[in-house]
């Protein structure tokens, strides 16, 4: 897949037509699920495709701002326990979102509010816990360059986009040198540069409430992902954010330069960075370019 252009193209929607995905689209999706990218291939994880009755079945278990998104189809990623099970689900789920985008379908990540109750209602095995939940289908026709924003049942409005399509985070504000706060000036690179494209894709990644509480350090040929303290984002949502952004970066980077290791979780050994209080290193990526 062309991860760079798909990362730019993908948009979250919270308003879907009742018409489900076509048989061809669902077949292509089902065929892709067994080979979708994983952050940790050794983690036992399952992907389940659900239909239009899901909002009734899972009412109270999941929702965006507590509101269940009505869609014709859904994906649930469930996993066996692992120290990085949530990050892996975010990585897998966003890879499937990329596939949905390639299939001309729109999607929306939905927060899981009560994973144990959700597991019970879906009759998942005892050793599986729902980690990620994604609505998908055909978006309703909306104003050009607009998005539906839901604050509450009584506060739903259309937010107009302005200007050209750009990453949610400006790349030069998201990528520092190994000195915190010093811009790596990534935008000075040619637009077709693989590193520049990988950072643009990472900055286009969705996150909980679009807060994007993370930044990147470019330390030579090493990229370090740093999570910032954020009271609005629960710990599992932080970990989903990490997996999603890691997929955008790795997918784009590896379209040009295959990696033997991909993302490695935790801080690199023998290094120290002067990070803000409360910030933590989620992982690092070694760029293999001669």
Cβ atoms of residues 21 and 75 within 8 Å: no
On whether residue 164 sits in a domain, the answer given is: no
Q: Does position 150 have pLDDT exceeding 80, yes or no?
A: no
Residues 102, 218: one domain? no
Of 113, 137, 161, which residue is a domain's last? 137
On whether residue 128 sits in a domain, the answer given is: yes
Residues 200, 279: one domain? yes
Q: Which CATH number does the domain housing residue 243 bear?
A: 3.40.109.30
What does the pLDDT average to over 119-132? 96
Q: What total of structural domains would you count in the chain?
A: 2
Of 111, 137, 163, which residue is a domain's last? 137
Give the range of the structural domain holding residue 200, as residue numbers without chain letter. 171-286
Q: Does position 144 have pLDDT exceeding 60, yes or no?
A: no
Percent of the chain predicted with pLDDT > 90: 78
Residues 241, 191: one domain? yes
pTM of the predicted structure, to 2 decimals: 0.90
Predicted local confidence at residue 84, as pLDDT: 98
Find the farthest-apart pair of alpha carbons in the chain and give their distance in angstroms, rounded.
56
Residues 29, 132: one domain? yes
On whether residue 232 sits in a domain, the answer given is: yes
Residues 118, 190: one domain? no
Residues 102, 212: one domain? no
The residue length of the chain stands at 290
Percent of the chain predicted with pLDDT > 70: 89
On whether residue 165 sits in a domain, the answer given is: no
Cα separation, 217 vs 220, whole angstroms: 9
Please give the helix or strand (H or E) that residue 224 lies within, else none.
strand 222-227
Query: How high does pLDDT run on average in the chain?
Result: 89
Q: Does position 160 have pLDDT exceeding 50, yes or no?
A: no
Q: Does position 146 have pLDDT exceeding 50, yes or no?
A: no
On whether residue 159 sits in a domain, the answer given is: no
Residues 123, 42: one domain? yes
Q: Read out DSSP for 13-72?
A: -S-B-SSPPPHHHHHHHHHHGGG---S-TTS-EEEEEE-TTHHHHTBTTB-BTTBPPP-S
Q: Does position 142 have pLDDT exceeding 60, yes or no?
A: no
Q: Which CATH number does the domain housing residue 16 bear?
A: 3.40.109.10
List of residues 6+ apart from 52 with CB closer than 8 A: 18, 20, 71, 72, 73
Of 92, 119, 137, which residue is a domain's last? 137
Q: Does position 253 have pLDDT exceeding 90, yes or no?
A: yes
Predicted local confidence at residue 145, as pLDDT: 42
Interior angle at CA 66, CA 65 and CA 67, nearest 5: 90
Residues 105, 48: one domain? yes
On whether residue 145 sits in a domain, the answer given is: no
On whether residue 270 sits in a domain, the answer given is: yes
Residues 109, 204: one domain? no
**Which among 265, 262, 261 is positioned nearest to 281, based on CA atoms?**
265
Q: Does position 94 have pLDDT exceeding 50, yes or no?
A: yes
23-78 per-position pLDDT tens digit:
999 999 999 999 999 999 999 999 999 999 999 999 999 987 778 899 999 999 99
2-20 per-position pLDDT tens digit:
999 999 999 888 899 999 9
Q: Does position 88 have pLDDT exceeding 90, yes or no?
A: yes
On whether residue 101 sits in a domain, the answer given is: yes
Q: Does position 141 have pLDDT exceeding 70, yes or no?
A: no
What does the pLDDT average to over 226-233? 90
Predicted local confidence at residue 252, as pLDDT: 97
């Amino acid at each position: 897949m062309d991860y760079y252009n798909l990362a730019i193209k993908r948009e979250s929607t919270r308003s879907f037509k009742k018409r489900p995905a076509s048989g061809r689209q669902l077949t292509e999706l089902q065929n892709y699920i067994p080979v979708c990218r994983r952050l940790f291939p050794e983690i036992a994880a399952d992907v389940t495709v659900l239909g239009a009755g899901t909002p009734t079945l899972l009412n109270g278990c999941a929702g965006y701002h507590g509101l269940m998104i009505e869609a014709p189809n859904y994906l649930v990623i469930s996993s066996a326990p692992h120290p990085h099970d949530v990050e892996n689900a975010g990585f897998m789920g966003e890879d499937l979102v990329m596939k949905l985008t390639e299939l001309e379908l729109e999607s929306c990540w939905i927060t899981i509010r009560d994973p144990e109750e959700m597991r019970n209602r879906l009759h998942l095995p005892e050793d599986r816990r729902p980690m990620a939940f994604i609505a998908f289908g055909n978006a309703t026709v909306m104003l050009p360059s607009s998005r539906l924003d839901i604050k509450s049942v009584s506060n739903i409005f259309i937010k107009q986009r302005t200007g050209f399509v750009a990453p949610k985070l400006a790349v030069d504000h998201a990528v520092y040198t190994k000195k915190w706060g010093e811009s790596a000036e990534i935008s000075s690179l040619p637009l077709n540069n693989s590193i520049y494209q990988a950072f643009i894709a990472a900055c286009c990644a969705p996150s909980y409430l679009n807060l994007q509480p993370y930044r990147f350090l470019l330390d030579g040929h090493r990229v370090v992902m740093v999570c910032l303290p954020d009271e609005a984002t629960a710990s599992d949502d932080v970990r989903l954010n990490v997996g999603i952004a890691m997929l955008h970066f790795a997918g784009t980077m590896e379209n040009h330069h295959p990696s033997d290791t991909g993302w490695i979780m935790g801080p690199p050994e023998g290094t120290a960075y002067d990070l803000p209080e409360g910030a933590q290193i989620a992982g690092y990526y070694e760029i293999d370019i001669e």
